[in-house]
């Protein structure tokens, strides 16, 4: 059984806060406050859930809707940020 990656939420937040404007899905006019909840769902998802992104997308969308706060992103846009953060931690590219 695969083990969940160790994730440092503070380090992930700091990384994405600095990097989000360089991502291919970034849209001008949106702030980190819009993208942040999607990243949070993405980098905590592999710790909280077992399975692949595609298998869990419905649950991840529900997580985003629950924690989105003032984010203006619809799920179709937030999904890309969630996937990017998910991929970063599952590929082991994050600092522990």
Query: Which residue from 37, 35, 41 is spatially nearest to 19, judged by alpha carbons?
Result: 35
Residue 1 is predicted with a pLDDT of 42
3-state secondary structure of 90: helix
Give the predicted TM-score (pTM) of the model: 0.91
Q: Is 79 within 8 Å of 35 (Cβ atoms)? A: no
Beta strands in the chain, from DSSP E residues, in sequence order: none
Average pLDDT over residues 76-84: 97
Q: How far apart are CA 62 and CA 67, in angstroms?
A: 9
What is the mean pLDDT of the segment spanning 69-78? 97
Q: How confident is the model at residue 96 (pLDDT cuts 50, 70, 90)?
A: low
- Side-chain half-sphere CA neighbours of 1 within 13 A: 4
| Predicted pLDDT at 2 | 53
Lowest mean per-residue pLDDT among 3-17, 24-38, 50-64, 73-87: 3-17
């Amino acid at each position: 059984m695969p083990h969940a990656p160790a994730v440092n939420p503070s380090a992930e937040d700091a990384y994405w806060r600095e990097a989000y404007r360089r991502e291919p899905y970034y849209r001008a006019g949106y702030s980190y406050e819009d993208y942040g909840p999607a990243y949070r769902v993405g980098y905590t998802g592999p710790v909280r859930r077992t399975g692949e992104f595609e298998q869990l997308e419905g649950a991840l969308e529900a997580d985003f809707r629950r924690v989105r706060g003032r984010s203006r992103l619809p799920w179709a846009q937030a999904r890309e940020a969630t996937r990017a953060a998910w991929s970063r931690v599952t590929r082991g590219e994050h600092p522990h």
